[in-house]
A and B are shown apart, each in its own frame.
Chain A
Amino acid sequence: MGLLEVRNLTLKLDGKRILNNLNVDFWEGHVHAVVGPNGAGKSSLASVIMGLSGYRDFEGDVLFDGKSVKDLSLDERAKLGMTMAWQEPARYEGLKVRDFIKASAKEKSDEAIRSVLSDAGLEDGDYINRAVDKTLSGGERKKVELASILAMKPRLAFLDEPDSGIDVESLERIFDAVQTLKSSGSTVILITHSPTVLRQAEHAFLLCCGELMAKGVVDKIDGYFTDQCLPCDHKNVPDKEGIGEL
């Protein structure tokens, strides 16, 4: 039994099937990856599991610690220890990094906050007193968001495209932070289409067109990248009716 279990999950948005009868288990204390092409449903899966607005009407169930979280609000799920880092983090005019991190931190001292900022690759500069706004680059905000997750010490964390906007030098720090989360007992789910990120995981799930095409150890799923795509019906090809005349 996994810490997080997805059962017969089907999601439709505007009449279009986004996720189709998914069954996935994420084990406690492991690093997982969910990979697949654009539009595969990776972020939608995370959104449903977290209970984001627009993703609460679905078929099937999501179990955390064996109990359904389907009827829980986003913050109630977070209080159970579930959290998420967005691919493109939000900006907050005027809100200091200190207050942003402190809001979820188990340890709220400046020292503890500086420590998680350092773990996320922001040890230089007076980041704690800066605002989480447009004065930070996208990559810096991504690190601040990661720091807030480190501070929260969650039981399960989705990291959506953790490498997007991150320079090569910082990527190793991000990966270190993933291992820090794992070593403290957290389950980490990396949503990615990067083979480099995939290799940080122990287990992976390949989605295509909302369906689970393959799962297993990373080496097995890695073939998706080397072979361009694992055999599937290439459901991403648009309907001929929608193409029009050439």
Chain B
Amino acid sequence: MSIKQSDVEALYARTESGSGVLRDPGVAHLTVNHNKILSSHTLEGLEVDAKEIEDGVDVRLVLRRGVRIAKTVHMCFGMTASEGVQRIKMRVELEENSGIAVLAHCVFPNAVDVEHIMDAVIEIGEGARYFYLEKHVHGERGGVKVYPKAAVRLAKAAEFKTEFELLHGKVGLIDVDYETTCEAESLMDVTARINGIEDDVIKISETGHLVGESARGALTSKIAVSGRAKAEVRNKLTASAAHARGHVDCKEIVRDQATATAVPIVEVSHPKAHVTHEAAIGSVDTKQLETLMSRGLDEDEASDLIIQGLLS
């Protein structure tokens, strides 16, 4: 498919990678603006079947058995229009011992009233590895409602590492709903890093089920809110098999009139399983702040640097 270069560049303009990476023949990619597929490129062993639907795209990605994609695959699902609904239906299947890393940008630079709905089903085969980093780039108006939902299943000894990052622009509303089931010896590592300002609303619900022997999992949320923003984190990790190990970690920094809640739930139903949790919500630590202020940073500069570190 030919690349509609100006549209692609409009989407990639605010990303750190830029659109130049798409010219590398060793980089598989898929670029979608609203419900239009602007560009796609695939590699041997990686099948991407993308269809335009009325309000978005329907994508099926299959990585064949034993195939390891060397370079990060780039996806971009965005909208340059100021209004509309974008629905992404995604099915990802990684066959046995395959491996892939995906960097997905979700870009809404001009949004006034945009809904972005991602509904993903992800199956990671035995011994396969799937790294998925989703970076959101929003405009300054924050007229975006984002609903990322994923149901993930890890087969024996599979590995799933995902990071959700929304650090640039105004969040608007985000409502994350991930549920991951981990079979024996598999590894799940789910992280969300979000910076909310003004009247942003952040809701995170991440659930992990360690159902196989020696499955391991971590659910991590790092949130900063200021202005009148609200954050609500509900992370749940269950362990029902011997030697399953897990940890739930939530850190939220609150400034101004913002509010944050954290509800870590751990549920263990096997005597040889072990799950821990920690949650810390509060203002910026005084000692951290004063150390930086004693180097000449004012309070806002010091707070910003501390939060930048937390969310990095």
A75 touches B308 (CB 8 A): no
Confirm or deny: A136 has a beta carbon within 8 angstroms of a beta carbon on chain B.
no
Q: How far is the CA of A41 from the CA of B295 in the complex (A)?
A: 23
The answer, among B251, B297, B310, B312, for a CB contact under 8 Å with A104, is B297
Name the contact of A90 in the complex, choosing from B291, B296, B298 (C-beta under 8 A): B291
| Nearest B residue to A133, CB-CB | B309
Q: Quick one: CB contact mask for B282-301 with A, threshold 8 Å, 1 for yes? A: 00011110111111111101
Q: Which of A53, A86, A131, A152 contacts B296 (CB 8 A)?
A: A152
Q: How far apart are the CA atoms of A104 and B299 in the complex, in Å?
A: 14
Q: Is B279 an interface residue (CB 8 A)?
A: no
B275 at the A/B interface (Cβ < 8 Å)? no
> Pick the contact of A131 from B286, B297, B309 — CB < 8 Å?
B309
> Looking across the interface, which residue of chain A has its beta carbon closest to that of B312?
A94
Nearest-Cβ distance from residue A197 to partner chain B, whole angstroms: 20
Which of A53, A77, A103 has a CB less than 8 Å from the CB of B292? A103
B290 and A103 form a contact (CB under 8 A): no
Q: Quick check: is B263 within 8 A (CB to CB) of the other chain?
A: no
User: Chain A residues near B312 (CB, 8 Å)?
Assistant: 94-96
Residues of A within 8 A of B301 (CB): 103
Asked whether A79 lies within 8 Å of B287 as measured between CB atoms, the reply is no
Q: In the complex the two chains form, is A90's CB within 8 Å of B288's CB?
A: yes
Known contacts A53-B290, A94-B312, A104 near B295 by CB under 8 Å:
yes
User: How many angstroms from the CA of A60 to the CA of B297 in the assembled complex?
Assistant: 27
Contact between B306 and A103, CB atoms less than 8 A apart: no
- CB contacts under 8 Å to B, within A62-114, are 73-75, 77-79, 82-84, 86, 89-96, 99-100, 103-104
A148-B296 Cα distance, complex, nearest whole Å: 12
Q: Are B309 and A94 in contact (CB under 8 A)?
A: yes
- Total A-B Cβ pairs within 8 A: 76
A96/B309 contact (C-beta < 8 A), A52-B290, A53-B286, A86-B291 known: yes
Number of A interface residues, CB 8 Å? 31
Instruction: Please measure, in the bound complex, the distance between the C-alpha atom of A90 and the C-alpha atom of B286, giving whole angstroms.
Output: 9
Is B287's CB under 8 angstroms from A104's CB? no
B contact residues around A222 at 8 Å (CB): none
Contact: B287 with A74, CB < 8 Å? no
Contact with A along B71-85 (1 / 0, CB 8 A): 000000000000000
> Closest CB of chain B to A73's CB: distance in Å?
8
Whether the Cβ atoms of B294 and A90 lie closer than 8 Å is: no
Interface members, chain A 102-148 (any B CB < 8 Å): 103-104, 131-132, 145, 148
Question: What 1/0 flags go to B148-180 for Cβ under 8 Å of A?
Answer: 000000000000000000000000000000000
Interface centre among A74, A91, A132 (most CB of B within 10 A): A74
Is B146 engaged at the interface, CB distance under 8 Å to the other chain? no
Question: Are B293 and A78 interface neighbours, CB within 8 A?
Answer: yes
Chain A residues, Cβ within 8 Å of B310:
93-95
A142 vs B287: C-alpha distance when bound (angstroms)? 14
Query: Which residue of the partner chain B has the closest CB to A84?
Result: B294
Q: Is A33 an interface residue (CB 8 A)?
A: no
Q: Would you call A4 an interface residue if the criterion is a C-beta within 8 Å of the partner chain's C-beta atoms?
A: no
Contact B291 A75 (CB under 8 A): no
- Taken together as a complex, chains A and B put the C-alpha atoms of A148 and B290 apart, in Å, by 14
- Residue B311 lies at the interface, judged by CB distance under 8 Å to chain A: yes
Known: A74-B294, A78-B297. 4 other contacts (CB 8 A): A74-B293, A75-B294, A79-B296, A152-B295
6 contacts across the A-B interface (CB closer than 8 A): A75-B294, A83-B295, A86-B291, A99-B305, A103-B295, A104-B297
Residues of A within 8 A of B (CB): 50, 52-53, 73-75, 77-79, 82-84, 86, 89-96, 99-100, 103-104, 131-132, 145, 148-149, 152
